[in-house]
Amino acid sequence: MNFVVPDFYPAAAEIFVAVMALVIMLSTTFARSIARSLGYFLCQFTLIAAAFITIGTMHGEVSYTFSNMFISDLMGDFLKVMIYFSMAIALLYGRSYLADRNINKPEYYLLAILMTLGMMVMVTSNHMLTMYIGLEMMSLALYALVAFDRDSARSTEAGMKYFVLGALASGLLLYGMSMVYGATGTLEFSGVAQSVYNQAANKPVLLFGLVFLIAGICFKLGVVPFHMWVPDVYQGASTAVTLILATAPKLAAFAMAVRLLIWGLFDIAEQWQTMLMLVAVASIILGNLAAISQPNIKRMLAYSGISHMGFMLLGLLSGVVEGDRHFALNAYSSAMFYAVAYVIMSLASFGMIILLSRAGFEAERIDDFKGLNKRSPWFAAVMMFVMFSMAGVPFFIGFFAKLSVLQAVVAAGYFWIAAVAVVMSVIGAFYYLRVVKVMYFDEPVDTAPIHAPAELRVLLSANGIAIAALGLAPQALMSICAYALLASL
Amino acid sequence: MEFKTFVFYFLSAILVFAALRVITARNPVHAALFLVLAFFNAGGIWLLLHAEFLAITLVMVYVGAVMVLFLFVVMMLDINLERLRQGFWSYLPVGALIGILLVIEMAMVLGGRYFGLDAMPVPPEPMAGFSNTRELGRVLYTDYVYPFELASLVLLVAMVAAVSLTLRKRKNTKYIDPSLQVSVKREGRVELVKMQAEKED
């Protein structure tokens, strides 16, 4: 057998980030005195440079390297750029928060960059082994980040819970992968797809594996019935980490679902669609109903995240109707648009909590938002944009996200799911609007002036404006999603 | 029954028994030792599958290193078993129900109907001179170089995470910097004081 040196060019961004992770580790070790800001700035530099490299090496075609374990396509490139973008914003939002709580250590940035690498590997993997390794790299770094505030009992407990449940989910996923391997004889997604298409695979075994794959994916997305960890971990982790946890990993989990289910197992879509249907409907119902009674805004956003991920799954499950694949592109691009829109909204919502928090004070109760309009009319407006957008009020980005997945569901003929989703969004509007109500109509409890660094204020304002502006002109982002998927499928 | 089949069932029976004892043993040290037994038997089954290298690695790495370390940890930690067992009986009915359901469902799929010899034929016997180790070594650094390198980064993540979560600078430690210690000058240690001669009365 002849060994051919693989083509490194498509993986340039991954290699760059991996090298930079080592650079960050060594430079912050040897320059202890400036390690904190050095770690932060190197991290931001890495993310920005990686975005340029990804855009620079982008070409509209699908290419493989590393013995077909690495796939480079437009969907992957788009999601990677979104991941850099959301990680960079999350790190910027979190910086002052961490400094106030004395946990602004260089390891934080090192773990964040390694986590980014794990997500990049997931997004670009064409092989179950690399998918799993990327997932573990991301999750391990996340477990550590959740427990990073190690003197806080709640943070440690959240880290432990996340770790134990995450390990269980990884085990389920691996078991499913081994069954798919047993049925098809390959771990490569295109090979799996080929084997299923030729009906060479042992179907009962394949379906048996599929159940476990779905369980693993659902855990990472945090949807019912694998949602138990979400509220506790969101609440227990320090808000800067919750911000990271609630944004970029959702994109990576979306990519994992797309690669495993659509790239690998598209020909048994009917089966996994039924499973996702139950999961999605249960998530939308439970997420919205449970969020109503939460006085803690981080828990409320956690439950709202569960329902948002349920909505995102609605797009994934309406691709194929009775063997008809007409709607597939439309449905999957609506799911991708939903994931991206959720990340943008989620960044702003947790950013607002960080903005209102200060040393020794967490603005994590809904009551802490009381009378925000009197303290800062502009940030009250930003929070209002976020809440309206999450509730799906027309002409914010969240509205178009919901609209496009509902269109996909209706086009697929699942009217009852669309009806449940609409009714539940109306119920969900209650708890989003309650936040708006306390901001505008209640007297402030906490009258301290808002202290936040200028870059946090500017970027958070930009984030709020983006939610409104993308709502007025959602077409551009939607067509990018559709085009990226079209070029990759 | 062929001898190989007998060995397989023998090893499997002990494996299942040991795995059950891992979760039912009252003493955590016993549980860890049963896990060692389970690893040995799994290694034996892999040997039957011609995966000698993996079998030996399993025993060397997991039994030799990981489990020994684990035993140390279990012995060093003062685990309050009573607190661990709290709530066991209240969770048992739900847990047992779900567990039994899962086992029944899995048994229905994993039974002979879909996993019998006609659905899953026996792989052909390897040729004489076939070396599992060589096959693994051939692909590990070539075809699988990408996951191999990534796995090293996963280990790095684990290391960074463990250090950052547990490393604490101790206050009032008696640590001495060796480089300062060897570069000490006479002036730093000995001080000559001029004083009047004194006479004892």
Per residue, the 3-state secondary structure of chain B, as one string, reads CCHHHHHHHHHHHHHHHHHHHHHHCCCHHHHHHHHHHHHHHHHHHHHHCCCHHHHHHHHHHHHHHHHHHHHHHHHHCCCCHHHHCCCHHHHHHHHHHHHHHHHHHHHHHHCHHHHCCCCCCCCCCCCCCCCHHHHHHHHHCCCCHHHHHHHHHHHHHHHHHHHHHHCCCCCCCCCCCHHHHHCCCHHHHCCCCCCCCCCCC
Determine if residue A294 is left, alpha or beta; phi over 0 gives left, psi from -120 to 50 gives alpha, anything else beta. Answer: beta
- Strand-pair partners of A71: A64
Segments of chain B scoring below 70 in pLDDT: 1, 80-81, 84
∠ CA(B149), CA(B152), CA(B153), 5° rounding? 95
Closest CA to A86 of A453, A344, A335, A341: A344
* pLDDT tens by residue, A243-294: 999 999 999 999 999 999 999 998 888 889 999 999 999 999 999 999 999 9
Kindly identify which residue of chain A lies nearest to residue B105, measuring between CA atoms: A208
Average pLDDT over residues A390-395: 90
Mutate to test the interface with B, among A3, A4, A71, A157 (most CBs of B within 10 A): A3
Mutate to test the interface with B, among A32, A109, A114, A138 (most CBs of B within 10 A): A114
- Cβ B160–A111 below 8 Å, yes or no? yes
Average pLDDT over residues A51-74: 90
- What pLDDT, on the 0 to 100 scale, is given for residue A1? 57
Spatial separation of the C-alpha atoms in residues A78 and B84, rounded to whole Å: 47
Residue A404 reports pLDDT greater than 80: yes
Burial of B118 (0-12, 13-18, 19+ CB in 10 A): exposed
Residue A214 reports pLDDT greater than 90: yes
Taking CB atoms and an 8 Å cutoff, what residues of chain A touch B147?
A: 69, 127, 129-130, 133
Kindly identify which residue of chain B lies nearest to residue A21, measuring between CA atoms: B153
∠ CA(B145), CA(A194), CA(A217), 5° rounding? 70
**Who among B143, B153, B158 is closest to A117 (CB)?**
B153
| ipTM for this model | 0.91
Kindly identify which residue of chain A lies nearest to residue B167, measuring between CA atoms: A150
CB contact at 8 A, A135 and A173: yes
CB contact at 8 A, A40 and A110: no
What is the model's pTM?
0.90
Taking CB atoms and an 8 Å cutoff, what residues of chain A touch B160?
A: 25, 107, 110-111, 114, 144
Spatial separation of the C-alpha atoms in residues A192 and B45, rounded to whole Å: 27
**Who among B113, B151, B153 is closest to A18 (CB)?**
B153
- Alpha carbon of B135: minimum distance to chain A alpha carbons (Å): 12
Mutate to test the interface with A, among B154, B156, B159, B168 (most CBs of A within 10 A): B154
Kindly identify which residue of chain B lies nearest to residue A70, measuring between CA atoms: B146
- What pLDDT, on the 0 to 100 scale, is given for residue A451? 80
Taking CB atoms and an 8 Å cutoff, what residues of chain B touch A133?
A: 147, 150-151, 154
For residue A489, the tally of other CB atoms under 10 A from its CB is 17
- What pLDDT, on the 0 to 100 scale, is given for residue A258? 94
Least confident window among A179-188, A362-371, B48-57, B127-136: B127-136
Report residue A359's pLDDT band, with 50, 70 and 90 as the boundaries: confident
- B84 has a chain A CB within 8 A of its CB: no
- What pLDDT, on the 0 to 100 scale, is given for residue A180? 92
- Strand-pair partners of A311: none
For residue B178, the tally of other CB atoms under 10 A from its CB is 8
Spatial separation of the C-alpha atoms in residues B187 and B189, rounded to whole Å: 6
* pLDDT tens by residue, A288-328: 999 999 999 999 999 999 999 999 999 999 888 877 787 88
Helix (H, G, I), strand (E, B) or coil at A342: helix
Spatial separation of the C-alpha atoms in residues B22 and A488, rounded to whole Å: 47
Report residue A32's pLDDT band, with 50, 70 and 90 as the boundaries: confident
Q: Phi first, then psi: give them for residue A125, nearest 5 degrees.
A: -90, 145
- Cβ B154–A137 below 8 Å, yes or no? yes
* pLDDT tens by residue, A433-460: 999 999 999 888 877 788 888 899 999 9
A3: its two tokens: 């060994």
Average pLDDT over residues A466-486: 90
**Terminal C-alpha separation, chain A:** 32
Average pLDDT over residues A52-77: 90
Q: Quick one: what percent of chain A has pLDDT higher than 70?
A: 100
- Alpha carbon of A130: minimum distance to chain B alpha carbons (Å): 6
Average pLDDT over residues A192-209: 87
- Cβ B146–A69 below 8 Å, yes or no? yes
Residue A375 reports pLDDT greater than 90: no
Spatial separation of the C-alpha atoms in residues B106 and A59, rounded to whole Å: 45
Helix (H, G, I), strand (E, B) or coil at A28: helix
Report residue A205's pLDDT band, with 50, 70 and 90 as the boundaries: confident
Report residue A488's pLDDT band, with 50, 70 and 90 as the boundaries: confident
- B92 has a chain A CB within 8 A of its CB: no
Q: What contacts A220, CB < 8 A, 6 or more positions away?
A: A135, A139, A169, A249, A252, A253, A256
A43: its two tokens: 């991290």
